[in-house]
Amino acid sequence: MSGRDDSIEVIQRELTAFARRARHKASQLHPGLSLVMYSILDLVNERGGCRAADVAAYFMLDKSTVSRQVSALEKLGLLGREVDPEDHRGQILRPTDQGLALLREAYEMRRQSFAERFTEWTDEDVARLAAYLVRYGAAD
């Protein structure tokens, strides 16, 4: 294999490990909270509320999958629905106060974890990684 192929293999392995750790961290935040559920809650908060169809499109998920995840978030008391003021047939998803508290706690845990991981990194290294992640994400 070429050096590029070796590098891509390492990237794939490391991103897979990162995703596994993220799933584990999500389950530590709240019993029964999956990474998908956490990601949905985070997106809904980031957007200031949105429709389930918007969530499905963003994550490239089937609407029925999003519906099940949203229902589970509602049962946990982390997400609520309100009538869409622009289309009274639709509903807007919004985090509850409990959901917002969980997101704040998760944000602080992540920030602290990243700060600890980057203690030995230079500011330039951190900035370079940030730029590479943005560049990688922009390919979608």
Q: Where exactly are the structural domains of the chain? A: 3-138
- Spatial contact of 51 and 83, defined as CB atoms under 8 Å apart: no
pLDDT, tens digit (0-9, with 9 covering 90-100), for 78-122? 999 999 888 888 899 999 999 999 999 988 988 998 899 999 999
77: number of Cβ within 10 Å? 13
Tell me how far apart the 2 most distant CA atoms of the chain are, in Å: 57
Residue 27 has pLDDT above 80, yes or no: no
Element holding 40 (H helix, E strand) = helix 35-46
Q: How many CA atoms lie within 13 A of 121 on its CB side?
A: 13
Q: What are the residues facing 82 on neighbouring strands?
A: 92
Architecture of domain 3-138: Orthogonal Bundle (1.10)
45: left (phi over 0), alpha (psi -120 to 50) or beta: alpha
Mean pLDDT over 6-33 rounds to 85
- Spatial contact of 10 and 17, defined as CB atoms under 8 Å apart: no
pLDDT for 1: 64
Mean pLDDT over 38-46 rounds to 95
Q: Extract the tokens encoding 134.
A: 């943005």
Q: Name the pTM for this structure.
A: 0.80
